[in-house]
Structure 1
Amino acid sequence: MATKTLAQWATNLSPSSLPASVRQAAVKSLYNYIGCAIGGSNHPAVTKAYDALSPFFGPATSSLYGSKGAVKTDAQHAALLNGIASHVHDYDDTHLATIIHPTGPVASAVLAYAEYKGSITGPEVLCALTAGIEASCKIGLAVWPEHYDIGWHITSSTGSVGAAVGVGKLMKLSEEQMAHAIGLAAVQVVGLREMFGSDTKSFHPGRAAQSGLLAALLAEKGYTSSPQALEAKRGWANVVAGGGTPKLEHYLSELGQKWEIEANAFKPFPCGIVCHPAIDGCIQLHQELQSKGLKPALIQKIEARVHPLVIELTSKRTPKDGLESKFSVFHGAAVGLLYGKAGPAQYADEVVRDQTVIDIRDKIDATADESLAADETYLTLYFADGSKLEKHTKHAVGSLEVPMSEEQLTEKFVDQAALVLSEGARQASDAAWKISEATDVAEVLRML
């Protein structure tokens, strides 16, 4: 019944049925996504993919955000390339209960189709986005954590289903067609954690977006799949559950009651979210060092007590480039201490290889503490004279307890978009905030 339950709920969802808090969460998720997609648009992972695939582009219907000259391509390739761009800096949103980055796959597909189709309103896009995010996160919860532990990249392995549901909403698929779209998406499982630190990590959500769009297009034309694609003995959940017992019925029964999009958080730092508490603490310590007239070079040793996932996921002590540094709590903490910030500029290749950063990085000792919450850390700086500075971060900025404000989200958007659009970043930000009110989303997307 799980596939039918999801298809039925998604088909019946309407813009007017979204609670105000859910709608606002969707607005923020979409806004944050657009900033990340623009900010990542000129990354080598995107330009290499563009160069490889451009000979095969179809009719130019859908925009590549941040591209010079308002470049367009067919919707399928736009979904792929914008999906890569949105994730390449690891700056996108995070559903903290599953560490799914849900908006990238769904929004990349939904917006590419909306621009292709035309005459689709902002409220319709928000409804489709919400449906897709709920689908991704609910099925993700059903197989968490075993699915992730065995090695799947849960953002993309659930994202194709979310993208199919989102696009299916815009297509106004019937319940039966939506179920087939879910099944078609479920067979296109993509994403291995082994790829973290390489170009392929960001390929995952892009491919999930493309796969979900493909699934909805096929279903619209009568292409069939199993009506039990998610729950069958050899269906998606049991195959990818990693030995665990899927809880599909439990989580899908919460659809429309408990909204996962409201548990979606936004990153203040472009790296693995598990090391954000350490970075936040180091930025606070940077400010204390400045107030005391102390230089980071005087530090002899830095001890960090962190959640065990920090060690599991971000323990690259000697990252070779910016992509690898996103999985190094040592690099994040070092730039936080040195510069008092950890934005895209602090994850550039040249910063990763800077000797001053390396010297601080080498002084950091991180140990796992199972008693800590995922957004908590303890830091201690030791100096040659025997003195020390301590910092306990109970909830890192960007957590649900300390969420980023709209002002902080705007600053984040403009900072990364300015690296691509220069003086046009503020205009893009203003347009992105208003997309939910558009009478035709395609007109706004062309401005990005």
Structure 2
Amino acid sequence: MATILRKIAEQVLSRTTFSDLAMERARDAAVDTIGCMIAGRNDESVAGLTRAFGREIARGGEARLVTGGSASSSLAALINATAAHALDFDDNFHPARAHASAVLVPALLAVLTNGEVVSGRRFLEAYLAGLEAQAAVGFGVNPSHYNRGWHATATVGSIGAAAGVARLLGAGKEAIATAMSLATSLACGPKGQFGTTAKPLHAGIAARNAVDAARMALAGMSGRPDILERRQGFLDLFGGDEANGWEGLTFGETHIIESRGLVTKRHPCCASTHRAIDALLDMKQEHALAAEDIFRIETKVGISAARNLAYPEPTDEMQARFSMQYCLAAAFLKGSLSLSDFTRQEIDRPEIRELMPRIEMQAYSAEEEKGVERLPHIVTVTMRSGHVYSKSRLHAKGSVEAPMSGQEREVKFMDCLRWANGHASKGAFQRLGALAELETLSHDNAFWNLISDGPHPERTSP
């Protein structure tokens, strides 16, 4: 029977050739995620996991940890994916409404054990399979699923990533469909956790679930192949009132990474702030705006974005990443945002706190959003002189419509390495850029040494 999961599984197996553009974008996404994973390895969310599972880590295992040492593939996926998402600097994937790569890349890395010989190209092909599966699952439930309050990174991301892991492990169509079915039973993650360490944990849980589901499927566990669309299945329980289902699901000749692409983050904070930040920085440059001359800054964003940004007066660095007021104020005053702007010391800077109360946020109405996939975010600046400036952004910097240059990607990667180690080598970025040409990615070769070796100083906020 042609269930949705079997349709997706057949698609990810039948797509055996990929364009140069698809491979290039997959490589860029993997490198960007590795940078974010390195940067996040000292975060409190990761430290909490290493404390919680210290005994298992001490015993070691077949999969490497970005924090150093090794553990089981399941635990490695949990810790490494949490690190990748810890600083909210990892990419976004609109078709799934998910942080796709923060789940996929660590999950795939976790199964690169001593017994697996995988080339860089095969790794990227599995990444592309998992990405296409995430998009297909998201097609049937989003944006209703996401707007209802589910963190699609942990739900849609887990199900789609299971397909990528299963493909990397050599699974056939039925095993891939079963892996996704089992991952559906593991899917979880409420967006109400945003602003806490549970939020990056969602990516870790999704990666762990993907690894576990793929391995269980290959070991003979079973799950319903129609669990997405059947009664009391994923759509029924998780879809929300306006989910369309998969009746219109089709797969294009070109891969989804070519037609839709990913959004590489320019700013290390919730993506719901990014278009507003970009619009405000554009206006600052165009009109030579000064903070002392501003009477009010107003933003209009999507409903889900407004709900995500729940901290108008953040008290710690995690809350600051989910505060429109903080992100706009800090970006305007500094001209950009970097990882160093999200520490306890920075969020209490008097000049930022003085500007924040002048920043307001409102959301589109449900009627305005109805039937529209994407609306622009609008920023309006009213000056004390009475002049009013306004700008809208439909796409953030880092999207395929406004891409980051290779140099900008490198600058971001260096920022990640400096945050983790206090130093950065351009050679690391260049060597990872040859990922597709590497003959083997294994548990103990130079590729993993590049990711996990080096000093890991405790990073605590002042």
- What is the Cα deviation at residue 255 of structure 1? 5.8
Q: 1:424 to 1:338 in 2, by over 3 A?
A: closer
- Which residue does the alignment assign to 1:63? 64
Q: In the alignment, what sits opposite 1:380?
A: 381
Offset of residue 254 of structure 1: 1.4
Q: Deviations over 1:5-63 (max 9, x none)?
A: 1122223333xx11222212211111111111111111111111111112123543322
Cα distance change, pair 323–116 in 1 and its aligned pair in 2 (3 A): farther
> Displacement of 1:391 after TM fit?
4.8
SS in 1 for 2:112: helix
Q: State the one-letter code of the partner of 2:448.
A: L
Distance (Å, rounded) in 2 between the aligned partners of 1:306 and 1:180: 38
- Is residue 345 of structure 2 the alignment partner of residue 347 of structure 1? no
**Cα distance, 1:256 vs structure 2:** 5.2
Whole-Å separation in 2 of the counterparts to 1:148 and 1:49 = 26
1:320 aligns with 2:327: no
TM norm structure 2: 0.88
- 8 Å Cα contact 1:272/1:327 also seen in 2: yes
**Cross-structure match for 1:11:** 13
In 2: Cα distance, 1:136 partner to 1:172 partner = 19
* Structure-2 change in CA distance of 1:118 and 1:97 (3 Å): closer
Partner of residue 402, structure 1: 402
Structure 1 residue 447 corresponds to structure 2 residue 450: yes
What is the identity, as a one-letter code, of the residue corresponding to 1:94?
A: N
Q: Letter of the 1:36 partner, please give it.
A: C
1:72 is aligned to 70
**Separation in 2, partners of 1:332, 1:410:** 23
- Contact (CA 8 Å) 2:85, 2:200: kept in 1 or not? yes
Paired residue type of 1:5: K
- Is the alpha carbon distance of 1:204 and 1:116 closer, same or farther for their aligned partners in structure 2, counting shifts above 3 Å? farther
Question: CA deviation digits over 1:49-107, x for unaligned, max 9?
Answer: 11111212354332222x3xx43222211111111011111111111344311111111
Compute the displacement of 1:354 (Å): 2.1
Change (3 A) 1:164 1:117: farther
Query: Could you tell which deviates more after superposition, 136-145 or 311-320?
Result: 311-320
Can you give the 5+ residue segments of structure 2 that lack an aligned partner in the other structure?
A: 452-462
Structure 1 pair 282–116 and aligned structure 2 pair: CA distance change class (3 A): farther
Distance 1:308 1:219, change over 3 A: closer
User: CA separation in 1, counterparts of 2:269 and 2:376?
Assistant: 14
Deviation at 1:427, TM superposition (A): 3.2
Q: Secondary structure at the match of 1:367?
A: strand
* Alpha-carbon offset, residue 363 of structure 1: 1.4
**How far is 1:389 from its partner?**
6.2
Q: Structure 1 residue 379: deviation in Å?
A: 2.8
- Displacement of 1:437 in angstroms is 1.5
Aligned-partner Cα distance in 1 for 2:182–2:396: 39
Name the CA shift for 1:374/1:35 in 2 (closer, same or farther; >3 Å): farther
Give the 3-state SS of the residue equivalent to 1:187 in structure 2.
helix
Unaligned runs of 5+ in 1: none
Distance 1:50 1:28, change over 3 A: same
Where do 1:79-228 residues align within 5 Å? 79-228=77-226
AA of the residue aligned to 2:43: H
Q: Kindly tell me: are residues 156 and 43 of structure 1, through their superposed partners in 2, closer, same or farther at Cα, counting changes over 3 Å?
A: same
Paired amino acid for 2:307: E
Q: Provide the alpha-carbon RMSD of the alignment.
A: 2.3
Q: Hey, what's the Cα distance between the residues in 1 that align with 2:420 and 2:296?
A: 38
TM-score, length of structure 1 as denominator length:
0.91
State the Cα distance separating 1:199 from its structure 2 match: 0.5
CA 1:295/1:182 → structure 2, altered by over 3 Å: closer, same or farther? closer
* Aligned partner letter, 2:251: E
Deviates more, 1:317-326 or 1:306-315: 306-315
Instruction: State the shift of 1:296 in Å.
Output: 2.1
Call closer, same or farther: CA 1:237–1:310 in 2, change over 3 Å. closer
- 2:437 aligns to what? 437
Q: Distance in 1 between the 2:382 and 2:323 partners?
A: 19
Deviations 1:345-378 (A, max 9, x none): 1122222222221111111123345679645423
More helix by share: 1
